[in-house]
Amino acid sequence: DAGITQSPRHKVTETGTPVTLRCHQTENHRYMYWYRQDPGHGLRLIHYSYGVKDTDKGEVSDGYSVSRSKTEDFLLTLESATSSQTSVYFCAISPGTGAGQPQHFGDGTRLSIL
Amino acid sequence: KQEVTQIPAALSVPEGENLVLNCSFTDSAIYNLQWFRQDPGKGLTSLLLIQSSQREQTSGRLNASLDKSSGRSTLYIAASQPGDSATYLCAVEAADMRFGAGTRLTVKP
């Protein structure tokens, strides 16, 4: 399995608090992604990174920010968490984009906003 | 906007049966189609990736085909086993990766 570690694995917090999720990879892959998975919506892309300090928005980026200061770490921040952000969050990595470049996923972080 | 549909949403079969899972997508301008397996409470495990120029890929008892012109892919599982029980997701990649909602497979002993 690809070396991807997400932390924390579970978190419960209150509305209005800041939350940061971490994704750490040991594969030295250029691309890193954050997705959320919700019943009825499947997996949707939040943000992605194509290099250190290079990030871009995905389909559902509102309310989220990201940072990548090192190749191996990609952080997802909810500045002021809302109940609608309760979800399972997955990090993925890929060596590149285009034909033949697979994405590999971490085990996810289950986040509950009360 | 790319839409990915998986049919059926759920499937239950007896052990040993061969089965086919279906995936359709609306925009044929894709780089890759990837099949994943997801166990309850777990992450996604990549099973097979088919590049847009390819017709099929095989891994063990799994065979995935791609017909880009018609916007369809199938995942064939031979001689199903209870350990194959999981949700199977397909995803197509163009500008970004879009996922289907999955097929929940149950293989009964």
List b or e across A82-106, with b for residues whose CB sees 16 or more CB atoms inside 10 angstroms: eeebbbbbbbbbbeebeeebbbbbb
**A97 contacts in chain B (CB < 8 Å):** 31, 93
Residue B30, min C-alpha distance to chain A (Å): 9
- Return the SS3 of B47: strand
User: In this structure, are residues A15 and A114 in contact, taking their beta carbons and an 8 Å threshold?
Assistant: yes
B35, B97, B98, B104, best to mutate vs chain A, most A CBs in 10 Å: B97
Note down pLDDT in tens along chain A; length 114 residues: 569 999 999 999 999 999 999 999 999 999 999 999 998 788 999 999 999 999 999 999 999 999 999 999 999 999 999 999 999 999 999 998 877 788 999 999 999 999
- Convert the pLDDT of each residue in B74-99 to its tens digit: 999 999 999 999 999 999 998 889 99
**B53 contacts in chain A (CB < 8 Å):** 99
Answer whether residue B103 shows pLDDT above 80: yes
Distance CA A39, CA A48 (A): 22
